[in-house]
Amino acid sequence: MSLPYFESVSPGSGTVPPRSWYATSSAASLSLNGSWRFRLSPTAEAEDDSFARPGYDASGWGEITVPGHWVLQGDGAHGSPAYTNVNYPFPVDPPRVPTENPTGDHLRVFDLPDTWPADGESVIRFEGVESCAKVWLNGTELGDFKGSRLPHEFSVGGLLQEHDNVLAVRVHQWSSGSYLEDQDQWWLPGIFREVSLLHRPDGAAADFRVHASYDHRDGLGTLRVETTTPAARVSVPELGLDLASGEPATVPVQPWTAETPRLYDGEIRTAAGETIPFRAGFRTVALEDGLIKVNGTPVLFRGVNRHEFHPEHGRAVGLDTMRRDLLLMKRHNVNAVRTSHYPPHPAFLDLCDELGLWVIDECDLETHGFVFDDWRRNPVDDERWTPALLDRARRMVERDKNHPSVLLWSLGNECGTGAGLTAMARWIRDRDPSRLVHYEGDPSCADTDVYSRMYPPHDEVETIGRYEDEGPAKRRQLPFILCEYGHAMGNGPGGLADYQRLFEAHDRLQGGFVWEWIDHGLNHPGYGFGYGGDFGEELHDGNFVCDGLLFPDRTPSPGLVEYKKVIEPVRIHGDGNGDSSADTVRVTNGHDFTDLTHLAFTWSYEVDGESVATGPLTVPPLAPGQSAEVKLPAPPADARGSEAAWTVRAELAEDTAWAPAGHLVAWGQLTAAPRAVTAAATGAAPVRDRDTITLGPAVFDARTGALRSLGPIQVPADGEPRLDVWRAPTDNDDGAPWQPDARYGLLWREAGLHRVRHRRDQVALDDGALVVRSRVAPAASQLGLATEYRWTADDSGRLTLSVTVTPEGDWRIPLPRLGIRFGIPSTYGETATWFGGGPGEAYPDTRAAARLGRWQSPVDALQTPYVRPQENGARADVRWAELTGPDGGGLRITGEPEFWFTARRWTTEQLDAAGHGTDLVPGDTVWVNLDHAQHGIGSQSCGPGPLPQYRLEAAPATFSFTFSALGRIGH
């Protein structure tokens, strides 16, 4: 049976050879973006191709915007987006696809501009169409193609007419190409990148190749520009160069690096008079001494995996969005991008050249779904598919070859192994020996220059860092990167700082790429942001598609703020021994190439979280890798207060292309004077009458021992302070089935920690205290927590609760949290002010970015809007916190020791039950959790769970809080 073009394994027919992309040229061009006529059919062959003929009446058709995905236009009238991770959303029978194959016919009628030259050739260029297209111009079939995130061009010169050119494009959602495009993302058909008509004065599609290498030993750069039109001249005025095509020149230059993205503007002039601007960045990448070196220096990747995503437009991502992504990356100290898992829009790489990012450019290739059949019939292991694979490799390399930012070519993602991959690697090496090759999925590393892994635990990474790993001899010599780690799904990822310490300790570990940059939550009419299953898919992978460092609207999540701190390129440490007269701070330059002269350092002396004095700090310029011990000034003489800290900041000294002067790059804090112990409130005598016990400012229920009021604050009926160990499991708590670590989110629920009961054992007055003893335990289990609440007060309005917890039974699971929770009327809880870690959320293994200070936030803004609601919003190391209402009335809480502070306008149970943010509706009570401890976050939604030191073991504990009412009764 011969298969139709969309099912044939062939990459297509009729296109011209691939070539590099460039943003502009002097040759005429015409954008064909905009509104096109559009007709959607349920199958590939529902309609004949008469629509492609001139004169066809498409006035009854709808319209669609190109670039765009049809499923994201038309308010559901054009089908829906669908999300699967590894599964193919159709029966796996390569290369066949279902009969139900949504097919979009696109029509565009255009006139040539008057200025369009009569001579020469022209091409129609498609930058990206998912997943297969057949193209006609003026009724003539041009050909067909697959390879969604790759460009395709057709020669059309002879077919063009001045007016009413009819460009017809038939796009099939499913094709043999779909088997090669099983990336973990939404399935989004359509012409999602630009379409243009480009005049070719020389009669051919002009290509050129910029070779710009740098020799760090002599500071010389060598430029050689090859062009397909031999008579071309190449000039770089700034370097005084005017060369023939192919002629090399060696001159002193400033090298290109991600830290110093120095580009030289050049121009190619062809014999036919076309001028094409280009930018040369001089750099040399090599594998040397078992390390990836750029310009002779090993580099450390502080990277992210970036999918192209926009909550409204899907993968039709505009230039503004690309730039915004890169500015956000640079401002968060990110220095590298893996273009997971396909070549990005070509303009993105121009921006990487310009702003300075190292890039792993990955081919549009993933066949992950074959894993479920032990990789049987895997296209990369079947020579019939090799032409399609080579076509993809070639389209990527030819398109992107002139970008200095691209250091490595990646063959693809999650394809298993096979001869097709080897063929790709061979072709790439032959065509471009100036770069390295990456592929993660082949443990032998036969075809790669770097040992790359995803999600290994810390201890394994350390073993590799020490060259103590086992495996093929070749692999044991290679540099190591984590092409994916730190799974940023929901709350997290945890453990980033622990990875970074390893990267910085072992040369072989050249960093990694957090998975991933942005949550792919699509705008949804009912849910705000929708995820898998929200668009009626019969097969889907839920919110696994929301695992980014940015929320879908590109607001940074706490994970990105944490990552920025973890990867800061300057380390500022002090032992903060409290002897502030002798404080020094150790500054280390963690850049690979630049010294510190682009940074301005300041110190600030903070008493009880408030800055009382600041000044500039002189730090020597320090070459990369160097450290200096810098003396801090004498602390201000008049500084009063119990606790003091130094904060040292490194900020941009001048404006850069990616952030203004004053932008914070790195910081460190050290103790100048430690915190004093907060004494419990004592001295007030409890007074019992018939129903109540009064103790200082507080009134309790005499029978139950429950707190009823504190000064003017009435505690809601179900809101008395009591022990709480439950948190709404995070995606990382729930874990992934393929991870070996215990999945505590599931085990906690199985153990009943979400439904513990409080058995009251005793309410007693004892030595000036109200003592309540209880046992907190779930049904069907012998596990329990014997809990003693000891209330004391003084006569000035302070009330102390001291909690002692003793685990009973055989606890084999950690606790989610350990602390108390209570409710107060929301009229007292509009604003939170605290002295402790901030300004953002933190957990035991996501707390690097929490800076000690005095912070304020509306209570509503304390919550982090994870697309799937889950535990969030804790603030670390809180000494005291105040919750206040509009008139200043409220509650003050002081902890001994410091505590984790959380406040939200719904209960943990409501948070746990919610599927989307829209399920959470503020009530009349503000629910407050004061935690002595929290379990770590980890990365187990795809990778390892929290490290042992971040586990919250069930163990005896004592902690206390002192409360006072604010406002009318004062404090």
Which residues, including other chains, have CB under 8 Å from residue 517's CB and lie 6 or more apart? 304, 305, 306, 307, 325, 329, 337, 548, 549, 550
- Asked if 450 and 478 count as a contact pair (C-beta separation under 8 A), the reply is yes
Choose between 216 and 453: whose C-beta lies nearer to ligand IPT. 453
Active site residue 414: yes
- The contact pattern for ligand IPT, residues 402-421, with x = CB under 6 A and - = no contact, is -----------xx-------
Q: What are phi and psi of 339, to 5 degrees?
A: -85, 70
d(C-alpha 417, C-alpha 804), whole Å: 56
How far apart are CB 72 and ligand IPT at their closest, in Å?
21
Residues between 664 and 703 with contacts to ligand IPT, criterion CB under 6 A: none
CB of 184 to ligand IPT, least distance (A): 3
Residue 851's identity, in one-letter code, is: R
The residue (of 284 and 413) whose beta carbon lies closer to ligand IPT is 413
Binding-site string for ligand IPT from residue 750 to residue 789, where x marks contact by CB under 6 A and - marks none = ----------------------------------------
Spell out the long-range contacts of 864-867 with Cβ–Cβ below 8 A and sequence spacing 24 or more.
Answer: 864/491, 864/557, 864/558, 864/840, 865/551, 865/917, 866/490, 866/491, 866/546, 866/557, 867/490, 867/519, 867/521, 867/528, 867/529, 867/531, 867/543, 867/546, 867/551, 867/552, 867/916, 867/917
Give me the catalytic one of 7, 181, 484, 898: 484
Measured from the CB atom, the residue of 547 and 931 that comes closer to ligand IPT is 547
Sort 59 into a burial class: Cβ within 10 Å, 0-12 / 13-18 / 19+. Answer: exposed
Question: With contact defined as beta carbons under 8 Å apart, do 697 and 793 qualify?
Answer: yes
CB 453 within 8 Å of CB 443: no
Which amino acid is it at 246?
G
Q: Does 515 bind ligand IPT (CB under 6 A)?
A: yes
Burial class (CB in 10 A: 0-12, 13-18, 19+), 256: buried
Q: Which residues of 15-37 are buried (b: 16+ CB within 10 A; e: fewer)?
A: bbebbbbbeebebbbbebbeebb
List the strands of the sheet with 275-280, edge to edge.
241-244, 233-236, 264-269, 275-280
CB of 435 to ligand IPT, least distance (A): 22
Residue 369 sits at the vertex; the CA angle it makes with 376 and 942, to the nearest 5 degrees, is 125
**Residue 454 binds ligand IPT (CB under 6 A):** yes
Catalytic residue among 414, 562, 882, 896: 414
For ligand IPT, give the closer residue by CB, 325 or 731.
731
**Token duo for residue 607:** 């008493």
Contacting residue, 6, 145, 174, 455, with ligand IPT by CB under 6 A: 455
Q: Which is nearer to ligand IPT, 68 or 311 (CB)?
A: 311
> Least separation, in Å, of the C-beta of 438 and ligand IPT?
13
- Is 362 among the residues known to form the active site? no
Per DSSP, the residues of 87-142 read S-SS---TT---SEEEEEEEEEEEPPPTT--SSSEEEEEES-EESEEEEEETTEEE
Q: How far is the CB of 911 from ligand IPT (least distance, A)?
A: 23
Bridge partners for 673 per DSSP: 644
- Indicate the residue among 188 and 859 with the shorter CB distance to ligand IPT: 188
Which residues in 778-830 belong to E strands, given as ranges?
Answer: 784-793, 799-808, 817-825
Structure tokens, 712: 């003017």
Which residue intervals of 768-847 are DSSP H helices? none
Among 181, 484, 734, 794, binds ligand IPT (CB under 6 A): 484
Give whichever of 549 and 771 is closer to ligand IPT, judged by the CB atom. Answer: 549
The pattern of x and - marking residues 888 through 927 that bind ligand IPT according to CB under 6 A reads: ----------------------------------------
Contact status: 84 vs ligand IPT (CB under 6 A):
no
CB of 515 to ligand IPT, least distance (A): 5
Q: At closest approach, how far in Å is the CB of 334 from ligand IPT?
A: 18
CB of 794 vs ligand IPT, minimal distance in Å = 54
Min dist CB 455 to ligand IPT, Å, is 6
* Length of the chain measured in residues: 971
Between CA 133 and CA 169 the distance in angstroms is: 6
Can residue 364 be called a binding residue for ligand IPT (CB under 6 A)? no
358: Cα separation from own chain's centroid? 16
Residue 872 and residue 906: Cα distance in Å, rounded? 12
Number of residues in contact with ligand IPT under rule CB under 6 A: 11
Between 547 and 898, CB nearer to ligand IPT = 547
Residue nearest to ligand IPT (CB): 184
Give the one residue of 29, 80, 85, 523 binding ligand IPT; rule: CB under 6 A: 85
Secondary structure letter of residue 297 according to DSSP: E
Q: Which is nearer to ligand IPT, 5 or 513 (CB)?
A: 513
514 vs 644, which CB is nearer to ligand IPT? 514
Q: How far is the CB of 185 from ligand IPT (least distance, A)?
A: 8
By CB under 6 A, is residue 942 in contact with ligand IPT?
yes
Rounded to an integer, what distance in angstroms lies between the CA atom of residue 661 and that of residue 651? 7
Q: Is 827 in the site for ligand IPT (CB under 6 A)?
A: no
Asked if residue 342 binds ligand IPT (CB under 6 A), the reply is no
Residue closer to ligand IPT by CB (options 484, 841) is 484
Asked if 297 and 216 touch (Cβ cutoff 8 Å), the reply is yes
Rounded Cα gap, residues 42 and 103, in angstroms: 6
Shortest Å, Cβ 552 to ligand IPT:
15
Cβ nearer to ligand IPT, comparing 454 with 461? 454
Contacts to ligand IPT from residues 177-206, by CB under 6 A: 184
Give yes or no for a contact between 801 and 960, defined as CB atoms under 8 angstroms apart: yes
Query: Angle between the 346-355 and 319-331 helix axes, to the nearest 10 degrees?
Result: 30
Residue 385 CB, nearest distance to ligand IPT (Å)?
20
Q: Of 330, 335, 356, 333, nearest to 263 (Cα)?
A: 356
Neighbouring CB atoms inside 10 A of 762's CB total 11
Please state the closest distance from residue 390 (CB atom) to ligand IPT, in A: 23
Closest CA to 968 of 829, 857, 828, 832: 828
Site for ligand IPT in 154-173 (CB under 6 A): none
Nearest residue (CB) to ligand IPT, 525 versus 737? 737
Site string for ligand IPT, 298-337 (x = CB under 6 A): ----------------------------------------
Beta strands 336-338 and 301-305 are parallel
Peptide bond into 189 cis (omega under 30): no
Site for ligand IPT in 546-575 (CB under 6 A): 547
**CA-CA distance, 337 to 258, in Å (whole number)?**
11
What type of residue sits at position 345?
H
Contact residues toward ligand IPT (CB under 6 A) are 85, 184, 341, 413-414, 454-455, 484, 515, 547, 942
Which residues are catalytic, by number?
A: 414, 484
